[in-house]
Amino acid sequence: MARLCLCINYAARLRNLNRKKEPDPVAVAVAAELAGIEGIVVQLREDRADVSDRDLMVLKEVVKTHLNLAIPLQEEMVKRAIQVLPDMVTLLPSTEATEGDETSLDVEANMDYVEEVAAALRANNVVVCALVPPDPQQIRAAARAGVDYVQLNTMPLAAVEDLGTMTEQVERIRAVAAAAHKLGIGVSAGRGLHYQNVRDIAAIPMIEEINIGRAILSRSVLMGVERAIAVMKTQLEHK
């Protein structure tokens, strides 16, 4: 069964709407680990609009499972990642170039820089991942750049309403995951996944990790973090 990791940025956004009081994203991360989550994902923005540097440093100290820091592909953010030394860094497209969960990193267009960043991170014993679309060309580029993992951007699934299109999207993701696996690259998936569409993605054997934030944190408002995580983990079980 794929590992389930929680992205806590939405907890930070809610805190900031509440005049930076509650909920504390660090407390959410601790509660999630106690509930059985297998990794914490945190995206650090240049403007620090949700997660702060203080949050990141405390998370580095308290997370006991696996800390995945997602950053835009920019020099200052890479330097920050090397200062923090999380377990994994996921490279995102530059915020100067684009915005939105649907956008992935064009590894091929940024080959030289991705290769340089990957080498610097790996030299500091940080696992390197890149958020990419389910595109074989990007997978091959990621392999040449020396990344350890790719996170397949599953945001297009969020807009799918008919079964036929869903099947096509899932099979495309399955084929690309298989291609990455053959090249020796680990595979995770995330963006736009929720309780209704995650099962088909989790059933793809090459996908080792599922990253979800909004869906779990939204459900936790109704049933608490522990129960929300437990229900999501049942969706990841292969039956």
Is the pLDDT confidence value at 158 over 90? no
CA separation, residue 60 to residues 80, 192, 198, 216 (Å): 13, 26, 28, 22
Q: Is 203 helix (H, G, I), strand (E, B) or coil?
A: coil
The model's confidence at residue 143, banded by pLDDT at 50, 70 and 90, is very high
Number of other CB atoms surrounding residue 42 within 10 Å: 27
Task: Quote the CA–CA distance of 42 and 29 in Å, as a whole number.
Answer: 10
Q: Which of 11-20, 22-31, 128-137, 140-149 has the lowest mean pLDDT?
A: 11-20
Joined tokens for residue 122: 């790996």
**What CATH number did the domain enclosing 43 receive?**
3.20.20.70
| Average pLDDT taken over every residue of the chain | 93
Q: Render pLDDT for 55-78 as a digit per residue (tens, 0 to 9).
A: 999 999 999 999 999 999 999 999
Residue the block writes with tokens 């969020």: 158
Range of the domain at 43: 3-235
Is the pLDDT confidence value at 99 over 70? no
Q: Where are the alpha helices (DSSP H) in 96-213?
A: 111-123, 136-145, 163-182, 198-202
Task: Quote the CA–CA distance of 4 and 98 in Å, as a whole number.
Answer: 27
C-beta separation of 197 from 158 below 8 A? yes
- Residue 40 burial (CB < 10 Å; 0-12/13-18/19+)? buried
Task: Quote the CA–CA distance of 202 and 157 in Å, as a whole number.
Answer: 13
pTM of the model: 0.94
The model's confidence at residue 195, banded by pLDDT at 50, 70 and 90, is very high
Joined tokens for residue 55: 């949050």
Domains in the chain: how many in total?
Answer: 1
